[in-house]
């Protein structure tokens, strides 16, 4: 009996000791947990409230299927969290969950959704899917990521295979030391060149850049499978929310990648958006990494205190001439964007151009065209000299632009000659026109912004050639001469004895012709008001044969164009303007 009582008392005492020990452990754990809990300052609390507000707004936008707005707001929330150094806060994990939901529900982009769910689990392994978003498919994807992260993060997963392990004792806390003086953080390396995979996972493989410091150049890289036969790869980028993309052509680099960059002056704000396109020789899109309506996102982090942005040079396969290859890429990018905003007509365009002009030239010694032997045995030969070609000349040109800078045209030239004088008794009538048809080869050289151009032409054709006008003699009968008697003597008035005078015979306008072959060259100035309307002034020299002549003429035309190839992409701003947008 005594022994049984003693055993019961001993057992009760053991239970009491274990309960007491458990209570002590619980109290110590509570104190440690309380001391380890983060204490938010006023600035941090404001940041958390901002993140909560952005997430609530994003949830309502997801419900209204405004996925673009939700995505941009959530990216802003991520930026706020990182600026406040809330890298382990539950609201950052919640924001990543919502971003994954946006990409899965809004864009059907499982790859991006899984990536954001993984980021959420990296911040908080116990994070759960927001109930209002829990569709069966989304829940399945989230659970799959949770299972993968749980297995990867289990510290005993490998140890279970080799037997029990004893947790290591925590080292004793070191005595406090005086912290060394703070030094400015080195600039983060965002342009480290990754290794080119032996086998590309996609037709157009572009390793994602998810985060970069604001104000730094951001280099994007792509590689295309040979089967694509891609002639070029283009990078499109913009600040989040900007109305349009800027574009840059990717360049080959010695390490095998195609590279292009977002310039440092464009990497401003809270985030960037970008996508890449591979195009074949016919300029068809054969593969993409992201799309214009579903771009990839880059979160921009503020530079560290004391950090000076550093521009990294990007190799483009040059021979080491000492210049900046990245500057060449930017210059080519600006040139390509500049091409897209020009007003001038493009290759494949037809134009119709009426115009007027006049000219002066040199002719060889010749009889007049109308009044010449044998009809006029007494008509003289006129020596060589300079005269005007007709009264006025009209032009009508039909052209076609083979390339943006080379064209061909057919031009009709109608020279009108005003006939003056009357009373001429010669048979027939003088020429009053000269009509020729010229074939033209044209070359255009850009000036300034490119909407103004110099035009160079070569001309060959024929017809009437061109004519130089000889004005009439004694127009209006104002010149007088003595009247002759039938015997050739001068007639006199029988009363007064004065010589009788009569008007000289009138000779109407006549011409000297050069031609019929016409050839020449000219230079002009053309300005394109838009792709359909232009004005042109031109000076040219026309030779003629076999009856030689040389004509210098000037004329102006108004040109109306139809057709032509439009630019691939409408871009309304140059890269340096993106910051203002």
Residue 370 shares a structural domain with residue 264: no
- Give the model's pLDDT for residue 71: 86
Residue 531 shares a structural domain with residue 441: yes
Residue 120 shares a structural domain with residue 209: no
Provide the CATH number for the domain around residue 513: 2.40.160.20
Binning pLDDT at 50, 70 and 90, where does residue 291 land?
confident
**Each residue of 117-172: pLDDT tens digit?**
988 988 888 899 888 888 888 888 898 887 876 554 444 344 334 444 444 444 44
- Please state which of the ranges 86-90, 327-331, 459-463 shows the lowest mean pLDDT: 327-331
- Give the model's pLDDT for residue 537: 97
Residue 324 shares a structural domain with residue 276: yes
CA separation for the pair 96, 82 (Å, rounded)? 13
121 lies in a domain? yes
- Give the model's pLDDT for residue 479: 67
The chain-wide mean pLDDT, for the chain, equals 77
- Give the model's pLDDT for residue 575: 37
Residue 290 shares a structural domain with residue 393: no
**Each residue of 223-248: pLDDT tens digit?**
999 998 899 999 999 987 778 889 99
> 138, 129 in Cβ contact below 8 A?
yes
166 lies in a domain? no
From 463, 485, 506, give the residue that closes a domain.
506
Residue 360 shares a structural domain with residue 424: yes
- Give the model's pLDDT for residue 166: 42
Residue 483 shares a structural domain with residue 390: no
- Give the model's pLDDT for residue 421: 64
Residue where the block lists tokens 């004694």:
474
> 361, 296 in Cβ contact below 8 A?
no
Contacts (Cβ under 8 Å, ≥6 apart) of 111:
none
- Give the model's pLDDT for residue 97: 93
Number of domain units in the chain: 4
CA separation for the pair 518, 543 (Å, rounded)? 6
Contacts (Cβ under 8 Å, ≥6 apart) of 427:
375
Residue 209 shares a structural domain with residue 337: yes
Mean pLDDT of 208-218: 87
DSSP notation for 494-509:
TTT-PBPEEEPPPB--
Mean pLDDT of 287-302: 85
How much of the chain exceeds pLDDT 70, in percent? 71
Q: Is the per-residue pLDDT at 525 higher than 90?
A: yes
186 lies in a domain? no
Cis omega (within 30 of 0) for bond into 112: no
5 lies in a domain? no
From 483, 506, 529, give the residue that closes a domain.
506
CA separation for the pair 300, 211 (Å, rounded)? 6
Provide the CATH number for the domain around residue 208: 2.60.40.10
**Each residue of 168-197: pLDDT tens digit?**
444 445 544 444 444 443 344 455 677 888
Counting other chains too, the contacts that 121-127 makes at CB distance below 8 Å and 24 or more residues apart are: 121/93, 121/145, 121/146, 121/149, 121/153, 122/149, 123/87, 123/88, 123/89, 123/90, 123/92, 123/93, 123/96, 124/88, 124/90, 124/93, 125/149, 125/150, 125/153, 127/90, 127/93, 127/94, 127/97
CA separation for the pair 466, 463 (Å, rounded)? 9
CA atoms within 13 A on the CB side of 448: 11
Residue 383 shares a structural domain with residue 442: yes
**Each residue of 376-435: pLDDT tens digit?**
766 777 788 888 888 899 999 999 999 989 999 999 999 998 877 665 666 677 888 999
b/e 360-397 (16+ beta carbons within 10 angstroms → b) = ebebeebebebbeeeeeeebeebeeeebebbeebebeb
385 lies in a domain? yes
> 561, 239 in Cβ contact below 8 A?
no
Residue span of the structural domain in which 209 resides: 204-304+311-341
| Stronger pLDDT, 183 or 212, i.e. the higher one | 212
Provide the CATH number for the domain around residue 114: 1.25.40.10
How much of the chain exceeds pLDDT 90, in percent? 29
- Give the model's pLDDT for residue 179: 46
428 lies in a domain? yes
- Give the model's pLDDT for residue 14: 54
Residue 428 shares a structural domain with residue 498: no
Mean pLDDT of 274-291: 90
Q: Is the per-residue pLDDT at 513 higher than 80?
A: yes
Residue 226 shares a structural domain with residue 323: yes
- Give the model's pLDDT for residue 29: 42
446 lies in a domain? yes
**Each residue of 532-560: pLDDT tens digit?**
899 999 999 999 999 899 999 999 999 99
CA separation for the pair 562, 473 (Å, rounded)? 50
**Each residue of 12-41: pLDDT tens digit?**
445 455 545 444 434 434 433 433 344 456
CA separation for the pair 517, 463 (Å, rounded)? 7
Residue 323 shares a structural domain with residue 243: yes
From 461, 483, 506, give the residue that closes a domain.
506
277 lies in a domain? yes
- Give the model's pLDDT for residue 181: 46
């Amino acid at each position: 009996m005594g022994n049984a009582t003693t055993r019961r008392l001993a057992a009760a005492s053991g239970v009491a000791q274990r309960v007491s020990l458990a209570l002590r452990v619980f109290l110590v754990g509570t104190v440690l947990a309380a001391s380890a809990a983060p204490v938010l300052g006023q600035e941090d609390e404001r940041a958390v409230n901002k993140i909560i507000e952005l997430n609530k707004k994003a949830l309502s936008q997801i419900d209204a299927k405004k996925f673009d707005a939700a995505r941009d707001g959530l990216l802003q929330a991520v930026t706020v969290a990182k600026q406040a150094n809330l890298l382990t806060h539950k609201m950052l994990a919640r924001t990543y969950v919502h971003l994954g939901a946006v990409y899965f529900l809004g864009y059907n982009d499982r790859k991006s959704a899984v990536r954001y769910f993984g980021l959420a689990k990296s911040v908080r392994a116990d994070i759960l899917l927001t109930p209002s978003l829990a569709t069966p498919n989304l829940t399945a994807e989230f659970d799959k990521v949770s299972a993968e992260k749980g297995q990867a993060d289990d510290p005993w997963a490998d140890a279970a295979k080799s037997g029990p392990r004893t947790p290591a004792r925590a080292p004793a806390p070191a005595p406090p030391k005086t912290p060394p003086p703070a030094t400015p953080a080195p600039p983060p390396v965002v342009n480290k060149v990754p290794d080119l995979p032996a086998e590309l996972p996609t037709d157009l493989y572009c390793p994602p850049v998810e985060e970069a410091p604001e104000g730094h150049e951001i280099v994007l890289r792509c590689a295309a499978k040979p089967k694509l036969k891609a002639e070029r790869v283009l990078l499109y980028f913009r600040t989040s929310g900007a109305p349009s993309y800027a574009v840059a052509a990717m360049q080959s680099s010695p390490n095998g990648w195609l590279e292009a960059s977002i310039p440092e002056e464009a990497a401003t704000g809270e985030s960037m958006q970008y996508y890449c396109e591979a195009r074949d020789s016919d300029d068809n899109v054969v593969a993409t990494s992201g799309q214009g309506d579903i771009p990839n996102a880059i979160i921009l982090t503020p530079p560290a205190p004391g950090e000076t942005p550093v521009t990294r040079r990007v190799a483009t396969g040059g021979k080491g001439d000492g210049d900046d290859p990245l500057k060449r890429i930017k210059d080519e990018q600006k040139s390509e964007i500049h091409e897209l905003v020009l007003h001038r007509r493009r290759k494949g365009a037809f134009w119709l151009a009426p115009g007027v002009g006049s000219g002066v030239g040199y002719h060889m010694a010749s009889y007049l065209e109308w009044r010449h032997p044998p009809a006029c045995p007494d008509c003289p030969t006129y020596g060589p000299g300079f005269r005007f070609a007709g009264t006025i000349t009209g032009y009508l040109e039909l052209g076609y632009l083979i390339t943006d800078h080379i064209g061909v045209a057919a031009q009709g030239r109608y020279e009108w000659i005003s006939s003056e004088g009357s009373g001429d008794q010669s048979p027939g009538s003088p020429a009053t026109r000269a009509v020729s048809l010229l074939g033209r080869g044209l070359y255009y050289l850009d000036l300034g912004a490119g909407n103004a151009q110099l035009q160079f032409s070569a001309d060959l054709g024929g017809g009437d050639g061109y004519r130089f006008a000889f004005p009439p003699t004694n127009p209006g009968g104002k010149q007088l001469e003595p009247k002759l008697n039938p015997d050739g003597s001068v007639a006199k008035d029988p009363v007064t004895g004065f010589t009788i005078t009569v008007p000289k015979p009138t000779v109407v306008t006549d011409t000297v012709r050069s031609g019929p072959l016409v050839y020449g060259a000219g230079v002009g100035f053309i300005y394109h008001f838009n792709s359909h309307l232009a004005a042109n002034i031109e000076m040219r020299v026309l030779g003629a044969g076999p009856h030689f002549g040389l004509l210098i003429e000037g004329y102006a035309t108004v040109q109306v164009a139809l057709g032509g190839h439009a630019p691939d992409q409408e871009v309304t701003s140059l890269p340096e303007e993106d910051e203002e947008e």
